[in-house]
Amino acid sequence: MFETSIVGSLPKPAWLAETNKLWPQWMTEGDALRQAKADATLLWIKAQEDAGLDIVGDGEQARQHFVHGFLEQVEGIDFDNKVKMGIRDNRYDAMVPQVVAALRLKGRVHAFEAQLARAHTKKKLKFTLPGPMTIVDTVADRFYGDKVKMAMAFAELLNQEALALQADGVDIIQFDEPAFNVYMKDAADWGVQALERAAQGLSCTTAVHICYGYGIKANTDWKSTLGDEWRQYETVFPALARSSIDQVSLECIHSHVPPDLMKLLAGKDVMVGVIDVASDTIETPEEVADTIARALEFVPADRLFPCTNCGLAPMSRDVAWGKLKALAAGTQLAKERLAAA
Ligand code: ZN
């Protein structure tokens, strides 16, 4: 009960990449970079195990960014001529590559870090991929001319990689779809369908993470415009409840998401965000356990998976480490409270 995990990303050590950045530059290249990525991956697996998490991941140490790390292995994308594009409904500008031809995988995308992680932990292993709708929102289209068509093309490639990751021994494949919280109607109309295409044929556990973004200024500014009740999940949760996806990861602590929206996910595992990624303050075990208790009003105990609100990538290593420990300690306290009740 209450198996703990993080959403996915963790800070990159200063010897691997620039720190406190969402799109950091690597500190080295070639074989040295490959080795540094491997070292950082092992370091964070050990840290997650030491903190006491039940499910661990690679911390996304081998990819520059959660979307572009995948795109780098896709043929038909021009990375040399990036263009500035407003993403997440123009919430912030990003330099994005352009789709210029039919899409095809050049080969495996994440074999190196997935196989490395699998070889070095006996814990359940979760691996993250960007969702098709979020990819479409983080790349400039000069070829397909149709969002849904392009999303389905990406979904097929994601599916190829997901099936290969499953063969590598990954237990949970999670697709990250922050765009579901921005284009709610599109998410319900075709985003979930594209997601199911990406997960087609998988027998391992499948998950989707939907959030209000990393704890960067553009996101915290945006959140402050969303009012007292954040009801974005309300449109997409019913579509997800009807889908083949097993688990849904959502924001909870310090958000204005009405907790009763979790009822819309009946029949699914719910990864409840009990760690805030927009604040450097380390949660106390009591705060984490209280958040779990609030979620328990709407999610059965055997369906509740304590998690972080989003990735921890742009934070400092010390803060991220403190938050991993808080997640485990707070969950332990919640278990004790439940046993005593
Ligand atoms: Zn997120």
Which parts of the chain fold into alpha helices (H)? 30-51, 68-71, 111-120, 132-136, 147-167, 184-186, 192-198, 217-223, 233-241, 285-296, 317-340
Q: How much is the pLDDT for 219?
A: 85
> Does residue 23 lie in a domain region?
no
pLDDT in tens, 57-98: 999 999 998 888 899 999 999 999 999 999 888 888 889 999
Mean pLDDT confidence for 21-29: 91
Task: Check if the beta carbon of residue 88 is closer than 8 Å to that of residue 182.
Answer: yes
Q: How far is the CA of 320 from the centre of ligand 1 (A)?
A: 15
> Does residue 76 lie in a domain region?
no
Q: What is the 3 state secondary structure string of 170-225?
A: CCEEEEECHHHHCCHHHHHHHHHHHHHHHCCCCCCEEEEECCCCCCCHHHHHHHCC
Q: How much is the pLDDT for 223?
A: 87
> Does residue 54 lie in a domain region?
yes
Q: Taking the CB of residue 228, how many other CB atoms lie within 10 A of it?
A: 6
Q: Indicate whether 233 pLDDT > 90.
A: yes
Looking up residue 325, the CATH number of its domain turns out to be 3.20.20.210
Q: How far is the CA of 68 from the centre of ligand 1 (A)?
A: 15
Q: How far is the CA of 108 from the centre of ligand 1 (A)?
A: 24
Q: Indicate whether 323 pLDDT > 90.
A: yes
Q: How much is the pLDDT for 220?
A: 85
> Does residue 329 lie in a domain region?
yes
Number of domains in the chain: 1
Q: How far is the CA of 340 from the centre of ligand 1 (A)?
A: 33
> Does residue 88 lie in a domain region?
no
pTM for this entry: 0.96
pLDDT in tens, 137-190: 999 999 999 999 999 999 999 999 999 999 999 999 999 999 999 999 999 999
Confidence label for 56 from pLDDT (cuts 50, 70 and 90): very high
Q: How far is the CA of 166 from the centre of ligand 1 (A)?
A: 22
Range of the domain at 208: 30-68+105-340
> Does residue 34 lie in a domain region?
yes
Q: How far is the CA of 213 from the centre of ligand 1 (A)?
A: 5
> Does residue 158 lie in a domain region?
yes
> Does residue 279 lie in a domain region?
yes
Q: How far is the CA of 31 from the centre of ligand 1 (A)?
A: 30
Q: How far is the CA of 164 from the centre of ligand 1 (A)?
A: 24
